[in-house]
Structure 1
Amino acid sequence: MASSISVGVIGATGKTGQSVVEGLLSSTTVFDITSFTRESSVNNKTNQQLEERGVRIVGYDIDGPKAVLVDKLKGIDVPISCITWEHLKQQIPWIEAAKEAGVKRFVPSEWVGPAPKGIIDIKDQKLDILGAIHRARLPYTIIDVGCWFQVFVPQVPSGRSDHGHSIYIDHPIVGDGSQKFALTDMADIGSYVARIISDPRTLNRHVFAYTEILSMNEIWDSMARVSGETPLRDYVTEAEIEEIIDTCGKKLQSSPESAHHPSNIMDTANFNMGQYRISWCIRGDNTPEYADYLGYLHFWKLFPDHPKGRSIEAFYKHIVSAAPQT
């Protein structure tokens, strides 16, 4: 019988972290799972629920001595970072401690799609983190999953889909809506992760795991088929997106508050989504073809027998059927 793989999920109580833990718990591979959580969150409800399912809860202080972090990582084969974009630099102490602890591979926080440096500020920060991993010569695996289904939930006249999308993200179709890009239901990320980190072929490689390749027109058509309604269609040009990025970027630079301060949240959302839209819907970076160019391994070529994640139509069906009753 194969021995278990010891996995430590940093940020296990967040949305991505919960998907990762669920995928590990549901896998046929045996994982010994630890939730690394801030000391102040050790006893929160989500961690209590994880503990009831056999997940070990370990508190940490990112500003504490490195030796303490090293000790917590000893015995962990694979630390997986689900740290949110606002705190990506907090991965540096984990990387340094992971190197000293001798982990077998480190999975940094990626969870979106392939892109070159200089297009998306958040991706640039993630590439800087990869640079820190390379400088440490730490074994790693990069996992990109494309755009989440949850980002694009087209509105329908009845309002049945309104509860399914973020109030911080508007829904214009970019350009003519024909550029295809990769998408994944957030809930399926963990299933793909469990398979990837169990395979030696993915060590020190970039892996692209996704469920659908669709254009914005096809996304809107999917909602139309599921809802029986005609989704609202607004359009935005590349030039208009660039203007939004420039305007919001200048406002954020001049603000005395951080980018994720409540007073800046809309400008931050518009700035970030503007850059993602240029990458996904204009440049076509978030595609298997561009991933090929960058040297990624493709999940479905590695694991052709793996069950497909939920389709976008199934996701939208759940959204419209779960609409609050008025």
Structure 2
Amino acid sequence: MAVASRTITAPRSLLVAQYAIKVLRILLASEAGICRLFDPNSYDASTSTSIGVRYLRSSATGFVRHDLVSTHSEVSVSIKPDLFGMDKQRVLLLGATGETGSSILKGLLDFGKFEVEALVRPSSAQKPDVKKLVEKGVQIRIADTSGPVDDLVPVLSGVDIFITAISGTSQLAQINIATAAKKAGVKRFVPCCFATICPPGGVMALRDDKEEVNNHIKKLFLPYTFIDIGFWYQFSIPILPSGRTDYAVPPGGTNSIHGDGEAPNLLTDLRDIGKFVAHIVDDKRTLNKSVFGWGDLLTENQIYSLLEELSGEKLDRQIVSIKDIEAEVAQATELITKEPDNVQNFIMMYSAQYNYSKYVRQDNTPEYARYLGYLDARELYPDFTPKSFRDFLVELLDGKMVRPYSSRGYA
């Protein structure tokens, strides 16, 4: 589609603002399509030397941006393509119906600065959760992410930011997607990190899978942002004797204190993950960087004391020694060797290795994150205040929480 450019000259005077607006009205009346005014600049003829008005006209190829600017003695109107409509970045999210993905989707939509779309597999296209996305106005792209790279490239075309939020057992599937994203010209790739701080190389198998993906991204020279968020509040809930927290405690939850209970850990409300992600991917400073978001830094002893204070109940504590943690890791690893196709064995191993990293090595801290080269999202965005763990517990005791994975399981 050919895009025109026009220049209209007029004398500079106290009436130039009115003249410019009149020109704009003529354009609005003459151009085909539906026009929307936005971002008008304020104008004071006694002090200003320029005015500007911008509007959008829908077209067959997307949106066309019109800039009308008056400087000194000339009013000029330029018409040029703007395929992203109101300068919004297009974000494509894989895993939008999962726990982490749902938080990310909400965070992006609420942020209001993105055109958000969801990538779903053909087998999921007719599922109720996907239909709910459509009802929210989210456009759907359908593709087999495990298929040939060249088949994925057109599906990723036109995407500024690609975010994945897939299951822990599917991490390596992102290698194929990243290769396609590079060919499609994606401007920022955000793989599924969203976990605790941990170094690569034998501490956690899940982290090593994530790092394999991250290294592949770097090998491709694909622009990226890696985001970690600590451990969820929702997985850090002790069980009260009265049963008041039972409705929100994940299956198999116990009142375990690991070691002496004094290991500090970064924690985040699941509902705040998407808010962090929206801020981070909108920020040029985070391109080709690792960033960690967090809501609170607490030890297990502090968590238990806080819940006792708010509930008025005394909590039981089951001490798990460092030797016990190490034995759990060894046992889970052995089970995987015997039954490598059993997903539950992997989940058991991930859990044991999380405990080893968090409570024995004490990796999941701001100090270690900064040592590994992460930027601190709390420092980058001081105006955003995530929910504190205390406030989370108040909601929990009021019966306002929802148990994670209550409708879909962990695998």
Q: Which amino acid aligns with 1:60?
A: A
Q: In structure 2, do the counterparts of structure 1 residues 153 and 270 end up closer, same or farther at CA, with 3 Å as the change threshold?
A: same
Tell me how far apart the structure 2 counterparts of residues 300 and 179 of structure 1 sit (CA, whole Å). Answer: 21
**Does the aligned pair in 2 maintain the 1:161–1:323 contact within 8 Å?**
no
**Does the aligned pair in 1 maintain the 2:172–2:212 contact within 8 Å?**
no
Counterpart of 1:95 in structure 2 is: 178
**Does the aligned pair in 1 maintain the 2:329–2:352 contact within 8 Å?**
yes
How much does 1:38 deviate?
1.2
1:198-230 CA-partner distances (Å, limit 9, x unpaired) = 010000000011010000111111221222211
In structure 1, which of residues 283, 286, 290 is the aligned counterpart of residue 364 of structure 2?
A: 286
Counterpart of 1:66 in structure 2 is: 149
How much does 1:116 deviate?
1.0
- Written as runs of structure 1 = structure 2, the 5 A alignment for 1:43-58 is 43-58=126-141
Which residues of structure 2 form unaligned runs of 5+?
1-38, 40-85, 402-411
Counterpart of 2:18 in structure 1 is: none
1:93-145 CA-partner distances (Å, limit 9, x unpaired) = 11000000011110000111221122111001101111110111110000000
Tell me how far apart the structure 2 counterparts of residues 135 and 280 of structure 1 sit (CA, whole Å). Answer: 30
In structure 2, which of residues 341, 353, 376 is the aligned counterpart of residue 275 of structure 1?
A: 353
Q: Which amino acid aligns with 1:105?
A: R
Tell me how far apart the structure 1 counterparts of residues 400 and 155 of structure 2 sit (CA, whole Å). Answer: 43
Counterpart of 1:144 in structure 2 is: 228
**Does the aligned pair in 2 maintain the 1:42–1:58 contact within 8 Å?**
no
Structure that is richer in strand per residue: 2
How much does 1:288 deviate?
0.7
Tell me how far apart the structure 2 counterparts of residues 39 and 251 of structure 1 sit (CA, whole Å). Answer: 33
Counterpart of 2:106 in structure 1 is: 22
Counterpart of 1:163 in structure 2 is: 247
Tell me how far apart the structure 2 counterparts of residues 199 and 302 of structure 1 sit (CA, whole Å). Answer: 9
How much does 1:21 deviate?
0.3
**Does the aligned pair in 2 maintain the 1:160–1:323 contact within 8 Å?**
no
Which residues of structure 1 form unaligned runs of 5+?
none
Flag the structure with larger Rg.
2
User: The residue matched to 1:58 in structure 2 has which SS?
Assistant: strand
How much does 1:169 deviate?
4.4
Counterpart of 2:121 in structure 1 is: 38
Tell me how far apart the structure 1 counterparts of residues 149 and 309 of structure 2 sit (CA, whole Å). Answer: 54
Tell me how far apart the structure 2 counterparts of residues 163 and 252 of structure 1 sit (CA, whole Å). Answer: 31
The sequence identity of aligned pairs, in percent, is: 36
How much does 1:323 deviate?
8.1
Q: 4+ residue stretches of structure 1 with deviation over 4 A? A: none
1:8-42 CA-partner distances (Å, limit 9, x unpaired) = 11111100000000000111x42111111111111
Residue 114, structure 1, aligned to residue 197, structure 2: yes
Counterpart of 2:30 in structure 1 is: none
RMSD: 1.6
**Does the aligned pair in 2 maintain the 1:91–1:129 contact within 8 Å?**
yes
Q: TM-score, normalised by structure 2?
A: 0.74
1:73-105 CA-partner distances (Å, limit 9, x unpaired) = 111101001011110111011100000001111
- Written as runs of structure 1 = structure 2, the 5 A alignment for 1:69-80 is 69-80=152-163
Residue 312, structure 1, aligned to residue 396, structure 2: no
User: The residue matched to 1:106 in structure 2 has which SS?
Assistant: strand
User: The residue matched to 2:158 in structure 1 has which SS?
Assistant: coil
Tell me how far apart the structure 1 counterparts of residues 165 and 114 of structure 2 sit (CA, whole Å). Answer: 17
Counterpart of 2:208 in structure 1 is: 124
Counterpart of 1:245 in structure 2 is: 329
Bigger drift between 190-199 and 295-304 goes to 295-304
Tell me how far apart the structure 2 counterparts of residues 209 and 24 of structure 1 sit (CA, whole Å). Answer: 16
How much does 1:59 deviate?
1.5
Counterpart of 2:14 in structure 1 is: none
Q: TM-score, normalised by structure 1?
A: 0.93
Tell me how far apart the structure 1 counterparts of residues 212 and 254 of structure 2 sit (CA, whole Å). Answer: 29
**Does the aligned pair in 2 maintain the 1:168–1:269 contact within 8 Å?**
no
Structure that is richer in helix per residue: 1
In structure 2, which of residues 80, 84, 87 is the aligned counterpart of residue 3 of structure 1?
A: 87
How much does 1:7 deviate?
0.5
Tell me how far apart the structure 2 counterparts of residues 160 and 173 of structure 1 sit (CA, whole Å). Answer: 20
User: The residue matched to 1:258 in structure 2 has which SS?
Assistant: coil
In structure 2, which of residues 305, 310, 333 is the aligned counterpart of residue 221 of structure 1?
A: 305
1:207-263 CA-partner distances (Å, limit 9, x unpaired) = 0110100001111112212222112211101111111111121122112x5231xxx
1:274-322 CA-partner distances (Å, limit 9, x unpaired) = 211121122221111001111111111111111x222222222222322
**Does the aligned pair in 1 maintain the 2:264–2:299 contact within 8 Å?**
yes
In structure 1, which of residues 176, 182, 199 is the aligned counterpart of residue 283 of structure 2?
A: 199
**Does the aligned pair in 2 maintain the 1:169–1:269 contact within 8 Å?**
no
Bigger drift between 169-178 and 86-95 goes to 169-178
In structure 1, which of residues 232, 239, 243 is the aligned counterpart of residue 316 of structure 2?
A: 232
Count residues with an aligned counterpart: 316
